[in-house]
């Protein structure tokens, strides 16, 4: 059984063919259009999947946003250029003519990472630090999606009541501080206008402000991990996303977590499937594994 897996993030779209043995073939990427109008996303998805759709029997989508009855509802529309609502399953069914399912990107990645860990870890949490900050919770071997698809949206828990306003409407969310967008939004002076990737490379060159912004993100994430441990008593927290997987980032989170009381300590691990966790999680869920 070959799955056409699609990962829709705030920065990039990825698609690939995934076989039953989880082998990935013909992986492609395109930038996510920053547009309020659904037509731009539809056109980008069409271009992304056209070369692959003839080789698959179904479509599995991991997407940023709350996924409710196949529709993408942005909790933070700023991550998608202001787009609030997109008929995800309907669009891909129309484009490919194939049966289609969709799940939140971090929930999908949590499922893939749970699979990678084997049977030992029934209680685990996945956190992506990427355009936003997303999460997926596996409890007693079951993926929590929530009655309305909201379960695991850890990026919208409170980090600082005096912090920046988040695109979700709250003040001081973890996402507004720790995410790639949050890091970039706080940059000033010589770093103003730089994206998180550039800020990481400037930090590597010794830039003090860049270093501070990355530490601020990692410290915020460590406090989130402590909250997650207190809430779920999970055995392990797996971290993904391009910021989460950036060199040195997880070690910083570990450094700040070590400063929290012992009861909140939990093993941290970089995502086994790296940038493909969302694609593979969606494929696994669609294949019924
Ligand atoms: P998406 O959110 O679309 O899933 P990513 O996981 O790639 O995509 O996250 C995008 C964010 O990660 C952006 O803020 C980008 O600047 C940042 N980023 C991309 N590559 C790197 C890198 N090598 N090091 C640090 N940050 C990165
Ligand atoms: C946001 C939210 C989550 C998502 C997370 C990570 C939107 C559009 N997305 O908190 O649903 O899981 O970002 O998404 O409201 P990514 O784009 O960083 O991968
Ligand atoms: Zn928020």
Tell me if 86 is assigned to some domain. yes
Question: Which pLDDT score, from 0 to 100, does residue 120 have?
Answer: 87
Question: Which pLDDT score, from 0 to 100, does residue 119 have?
Answer: 78
Classify the C-alpha dihedral 112-116-122-127 as positive or negative.
Answer: negative
Testing ligand 2's pocket by substitution, the residue of 8, 9, 10 carrying the most ligand atoms inside 8 A of its CB is: 10
Domain that holds residue 247: 119-271
Tell me if 204 is assigned to some domain. yes
- Residue 217 CB less than 6 A away from ligand 1: no
CB-based contact 108:278 (threshold 8 Å): yes
Q: List per-residue pLDDT tens for the chain, 289 residues long.
A: 999 999 999 999 999 999 999 999 999 999 999 999 999 999 999 999 999 999 999 999 999 999 999 999 999 999 999 999 999 999 999 999 999 999 999 999 999 999 999 978 999 999 999 999 999 999 999 999 999 999 999 999 999 999 999 999 999 999 999 999 999 999 999 999 999 999 999 999 999 999 999 999 999 999 999 999 999 999 999 999 999 999 999 999 999 999 999 999 999 999 999 999 999 999 999 999 7
| DSSP code, position 242 | T
pTM of the model: 0.98
CATH number at residue 157: 3.30.420.40
- Residue 104 CB less than 6 A away from ligand 1: no
Q: How far is the CA of 47 from the centre of ligand 2 (A)?
A: 22
Q: How far is the CA of 134 from the centre of ligand 3 (A)?
A: 10
Residue 180 shares a structural domain with residue 222 = yes
Testing ligand 2's pocket by substitution, the residue of 72, 108, 112, 132 carrying the most ligand atoms inside 8 A of its CB is: 132
Residue 124 shares a structural domain with residue 227 = yes
Residue 102 shares a structural domain with residue 141 = no
Residue 56 shares a structural domain with residue 176 = no
3-state secondary structure of 82: coil
Residue 140 shares a structural domain with residue 214 = yes
Residue 103 shares a structural domain with residue 144 = no
- The set of residues, in sequence order, having a beta carbon less than 8 Å from that of 220 and lying 6+ positions away, is 159, 160, 174, 177, 178
Atom of ligand 2 nearest to the CA of 130: 18
The C-alpha atoms of residue 68 and residue 56 are separated, in whole angstroms, by 24
Residue 85 shares a structural domain with residue 164 = no
Structural domain count, the chain: 2
Residue 105 CA from chain centroid, whole number: 5
């Amino acid at each position: 059984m070959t799955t056409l897996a699609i990962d829709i993030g705030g920065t990039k779209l990825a698609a690939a063919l995934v076989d039953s043995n989880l082998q990935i073939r013909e992986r492609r990427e395109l930038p996510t259009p920053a547009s309020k109008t659904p037509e731009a996303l539809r056109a980008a998805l069409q271009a992304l999947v056209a070369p692959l759709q003839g080789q698959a029997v179904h479509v599995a989508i991991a997407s940023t946003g709350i996924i409710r009855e196949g529709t993408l509802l942005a909790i933070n529309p700023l991550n998608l250029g202001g787009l609030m609502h997109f008929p995800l399953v309907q669009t891909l069914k129309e484009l490919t003519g194939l049966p289609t399912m969709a799940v939140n990107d971090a929930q999908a990645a949590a499922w893939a990472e749970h699979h990678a860990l084997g049977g030992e870890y029934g209680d685990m949490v996945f956190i992506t630090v990427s355009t936003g900050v997303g999460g997926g919770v596996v409890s007693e071997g079951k993926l929590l999606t929530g009655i309305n698809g909201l379960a695991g949206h850890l990026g919208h828990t409170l980090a600082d009541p005096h912090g920046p306003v988040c695109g979700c409407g709250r003040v001081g969310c973890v996402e507004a501080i720790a995410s790639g967008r949050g890091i970039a939004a706080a940059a000033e002076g010589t770093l103003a206008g730089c994206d998180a990737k550039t800020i990481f490379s400037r930090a590597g060159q010794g830039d003090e402000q860049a270093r501070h912004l990355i530490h601020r993100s990692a410290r915020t994430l460590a406090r989130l991990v402590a909250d997650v441990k207190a809430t779920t008593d999970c055995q392990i927290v797996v971290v993904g996303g391009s910021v989460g997987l950036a060199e040195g980032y997880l070690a910083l989170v570990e450094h700040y977590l070590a400063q929290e009381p012992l009861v909140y300590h939990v093993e941290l691990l970089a995502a086994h499937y790296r940038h493909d966790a969302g694609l593979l999680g969606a494929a696994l869920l669609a294949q019924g594994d």
